[in-house]
Structure 1
Amino acid sequence: MSVARILIIAGSDSGGGAGIQADIRTVTLLGGHAMTAITAITAQNTLGVQGVHPVPTDMVLAQMESVIGDIGVDAVKIGMIGSAQTAAAVADRLAKLEGVPIVFDPVMVATSGSALADDATVAAFERLMAFAALVTPNLPELEALGGKDVAIRFATHVLAKGGHGEGPMLTDRLIGPQGVVKAWSNTRIDTPHTHGTGCTLASAIATRLGQGMALIDAIERARQYVREALTLAPGLGQGHGPMGAPFGFHAHA
């Protein structure tokens, strides 16, 4: 099997727990080849986001064109966009990719609570949702996007992540245009070190889709990977630290 080529469109996290850094780590450990179009540079650690510097839209597109034209793409993961203008331009370019699954993690708020997208950028997300194979919001993000009806409005699948819910059990629901397709429930892993869970999950799903897995199988494998990573968190930093790296996770298992 040739290596799956995964294009990651996201921001950089200087603390290494989330963003491009978490994406590259995940894709690599799962046996894929990670390529990047960096949308923003953040000054960020386990305590929060101290600064955000968006990369100009034309440079984001140049990064995308460079790797698409030469290396090719089997799946795309979209994380932090940076600006409404960039969101629109990225949507225009990705619309030309045929048969390539796109996983869109609509990053609006960091684990620390810091806002990472303004209202105009959130509005521009609609174009990306319209052709994504899967959108992966947490519960606050799902509400901001219009609730579970977004799956119907955009004829897509939405993985509503339950990590922000109350209680000892965590439930993720896969919602399609016809309603809930499947739900996964697990005991919540009690750790403050959850920085990068959303990035990691979306990148893992994109990698598995790029390797040819069906959507439900890709989600199941990705969830297993994230839960393993949470149990291996090394406890770095004074706040929401990064997860661990499950090196024993077989590339195509």
Structure 2
Amino acid sequence: MVVNSYPQALTIAGSDSDGSAGMQADLHTFFARQVYGASVITACVAGNSYGIHASVPMPTDFIDQEFADLAADYHIRAAKTGMLADSELINDVVKNYHQADFGPLVVDPVIMTKHGNQLLEESAFNTLRTTLLPLATVLTPNFYESEKIAEMNITSADDMVKAAHKMQQMGAKNIIAKGSHAKTDQTEVRDFVLLESGEEFWLSEPYHQTDRVNGTGDSLSACITAELAKGTPMKRAIEIAKQFVNTAIGSPIEVGHKFGPVNHWAAQNRDY
């Protein structure tokens, strides 16, 4: 047996008690894509399908120990970040990532909700943009996060392209600028992809009218991370992730009373 030969991926994120998003959604995705998942827990969140009701950040010395223990034993081949609550936590994650050899980094910026509500305080957003974003092998902002990071309104496909180029100029190598979900008569979701090579293209999948969408962004970035950990080429990793998440949304499961999770298991055995 070759030690550490199995592909391993890391999520650096908060723990959601209801299992629909955050670290749990990432680990569900890693499992579905046949990658071993490790975690650096940055916070613990108490919530359910009705909402989030309490959260507790982890001390930075505990986070430091999580990084150190994983680096001392495992062969993490790709990693991703989720929600990082404040500037202190962002700076600590950046410090530890510089010290570890955890492969390419997928940054799910978690700045704005898919409905346009800001999650991070402005000081934390500025820290993320100046310290974490330049480390991103892949950046996966949603529509409103693209507007926020690029400091522009996006009202057309040309605007989306311009925003992606602006974000790449800030240091992120590969950009997946996710399309809006705001239209009531929407039939598709189109995401714009800009690769480090300069290649650019659009990805489109059917739009599903459902409230079972918790963890969508987490799962997309986690699927890319899992594929990179397996050695999948960048473009193909992004294509697989888009298809994986669309399958997970399109086959809802009834968990909870209100806003439910996507169905990772529906996508588990698909050959993309």
Offset, 1:66? 0.9
Give the secondary structure class of the aligned counterpart of 1:107.
Answer: coil
Does the 8 Å CA contact 2:138/2:172 hold for their aligned counterparts?
no
Residue 75 (str. 1) matches residue 78 (str. 2)? yes
Contact 2:21 2:261 in 1 (8 A): yes
Code of the aligned partner of 1:160: A
Q: Distance in 1 between matches of 2:64 and 2:270?
A: 30
Matches within 5 A, 1:2-151: 2-97=5-100, 100-110=103-113, 115-126=118-129, 127-146=131-150, 147-148=163-164, 149-151=166-168
Kept after mapping to 2: 8 A contact 1:189/1:230: yes
Which region of structure 1 is more displaced relative to structure 2, 46-55 or 221-230? Answer: 46-55
SS of equivalent to 2:99: coil
Pair 1:97–1:106, CA change in 2 (3 A): same
Offset of 1:241 from its aligned partner? 0.7
> For the Cα contact (< 8 Å) 1:111–1:195, is it kept in 2?
no
Supply the distance in 1 between the matched residues of 2:117 and 2:204 (Cα, whole angstroms): 28
Of all paired residues, the percent bearing the same amino acid is 28
Q: 1:185 to 1:248 in 2, by over 3 A?
A: closer
TM-score, normalisation: structure 2: 0.85
Distance 1:140 1:203 in 2: 20
Name the SS for the 1:95 alignment partner.
helix
In structure 1, the residue matched to 2:212 is 193
Cα offset, 1:20, TM superposition: 0.7
Residue 193 of structure 2, aligned match among 174, 186, 199 = 174
| Per-residue deviation, 1:78 | 0.5
How is 1:213-232 mapped onto 2 (pairs within 5 angstroms)?
213-232=232-251
Relative to structure 2, which stretch is displaced further, 193-202 or 138-147? Answer: 138-147
Q: For structure 2, list consecutive stretches of 5 or more residues without a partner in the other structure.
A: 151-162
User: What's the TM-score, normalizing by structure 1?
Assistant: 0.91
Q: Which amino acid aligns with 1:141?
A: E
Report the alpha carbon displacement of residue 112 of structure 1 after superposing the two structures with TM: 7.6
Given the superposition, is the C-alpha separation of residues 251 and 33 from structure 1 closer, same or farther in structure 2, using an over 3 Å criterion? farther
Q: Is the 8 A contact 1:172 1:183 kept in 2?
A: yes
Q: 1:248–1:19: structure 2 CA closer, same or farther, 3 Å change rule?
A: closer
Say which of 185, 209, 231 aligns to 1:212: 231
Cα deviation 1:114-141 (Å, max 9, x = unaligned): 7542222211112111121101010111
Which position in structure 1 is the counterpart of 2:268? 249
Deviation at 1:97, TM superposition (A): 4.1
- Give the superposition deviation at 1:98: 5.0
- Partners of 2:61 and 2:236 in 1: how far apart? 36
Kindly tell me: are residues 112 and 17 of structure 1, through their superposed partners in 2, closer, same or farther at Cα, counting changes over 3 Å? farther
* Contact 1:46-1:112 within 8 A present in 2 as well: no
Q: Which amino acid aligns with 1:139?
A: F
Partner of 2:153: none
Structure 1 range deviating more: 21-30 or 119-128:
119-128
